[in-house]
Amino acid sequence: MAQVIDRNLHIRRIDTYVDPLVPRERAIVTHGHADHARPGHKKVLATPDTIAIMQTRYGPDCAGSFQAVPFGEPITIDEVTITLFPAGHILGSAQVLIEQDGQRVVVTGDYKRLPDTTAQPFELVKCNLLVTEATFGLPVFQHPHPSQEIARLLKSLNDHSDRAHVIGAYALGKAQRVIALLREAGFDAPIYLHGAMIRLCDLYIERGIGLGELRHATEASKAEMAGAVVIAPPSALKDRWSRRLPDPVLAMASGWMSVKQRARQRGVELPLVISDHVDWPELTQTVTETEAETIWVTHGREEALVYHCEQQGLKAEPLNIQGYEDEAEEQ
């Protein structure tokens, strides 16, 4: 099976890489996060949403040419068939199915299975070789339903109505998801954005994701921000930027926030366990449901997942791909 794809995610027969970290002739990009989507490739194949995200972040000419491929539409090149399936991670995020000589390989990219109205929902794809992430690949990671976490945020807003609630969230994907979750929970007040959030929120709105009324945090008065929700990149939480907010409650939306020790280290008072990656139960469920005989683990807590797969009688190995250390969660 190693002839279909190698451990650098190189599809040999068509000389194409999945999520290459250095500029390549041909690349398939699973989603728009910077550790998977790099500028400078000659030809990029991706979903229309991912291409729009890349062009917004890196400029319209960040690749020599783009081939937009909708979900579920197979493309055959030199007897290799490529099909993209939704990964549920962020808007446009895809898993890549590669079929050659009767073998099926799925590269998941980053993915999650809990509901998210800002991303096309994950679809399970059966395969022989599953190339999966394992960002939260330890059994201590059991993510709660996001609506529970939003309920805790709303309670805190209610209990501390004089304090701004600044939520650290990565600018692509997490920010828009938190806003959409708040809207679903009936929160209809304006939400204030750090400058780094604005471009990508506008892009989501353009592509049909409703986010309600958004305002620029820098243009709002201090009084206006009392009891308001502000979304900022995690790096801005402890920065001078958040000091001008009225007595802010520092919150953070991330799968890592289940570990209290970790929340404490970052000075987070209100940890919101909202993750765009599968947790341990979903990860092991996916491994089983794909019916793959071989599992490769690209990045994350590889050791535990490889061990688990071996216990189940599957072949498994870590790829230790450097550079996928998930910016969305680590920042």
Which residues sit at the interface with another protein, rule CB under 8 A? 138-142, 144, 258-261, 263-264, 267-271, 301, 303-304, 307-308, 311
Is 200 within 8 Å of 172 (Cβ atoms)?
yes
Our CB check for another protein shows the closer of 27 and 268 to be: 268
Residue 70's Cβ-count burial label (10 Å; 0-12, 13-18, 19+) is exposed
Is 173 within 8 Å of 91 (Cβ atoms)?
yes
Provide the minimum distance between the beta carbon of 45 and another protein in the complex, in angstroms, as a whole number: 36
What percentage of the chain's residues is helix, strand, coil (to nearest 5)?
30, 25, 45
Give CB contacts under 8 A, 24+ apart, made by 78-83: 78/13, 78/14, 79/13, 80/4, 80/11, 80/13, 80/14, 82/28, 82/45
CA distance 173 to 328: 8
Provide the minimum distance between the beta carbon of 255 and another protein in the complex, in angstroms, as a whole number: 12
Burial code of 157-195, b = ≥16 C-beta within 10 A, e = fewer? beebeebbbbbbbbbbbbbbbbbbbbbeeebeeebbbbe
Provide the minimum distance between the beta carbon of 101 and another protein in the complex, in angstroms, as a whole number: 36
Provide the minimum distance between the beta carbon of 159 and another protein in the complex, in angstroms, as a whole number: 10
Provide the minimum distance between the beta carbon of 142 and another protein in the complex, in angstroms, as a whole number: 5
Our CB check for another protein shows the closer of 25 and 325 to be: 325
Provide the minimum distance between the beta carbon of 308 and another protein in the complex, in angstroms, as a whole number: 7
Two tokens, residue 110: 């980053």
Our CB check for another protein shows the closer of 2 and 140 to be: 140
Our CB check for another protein shows the closer of 141 and 170 to be: 141
CA distance 178 to 227: 17
Our CB check for another protein shows the closer of 29 and 306 to be: 306
Two tokens, residue 301: 């807590």
Provide the minimum distance between the beta carbon of 282 and another protein in the complex, in angstroms, as a whole number: 12
Is 211 within 8 Å of 180 (Cβ atoms)?
yes
- From the CA atom positions of the chain, what is the Rg in Å? 20
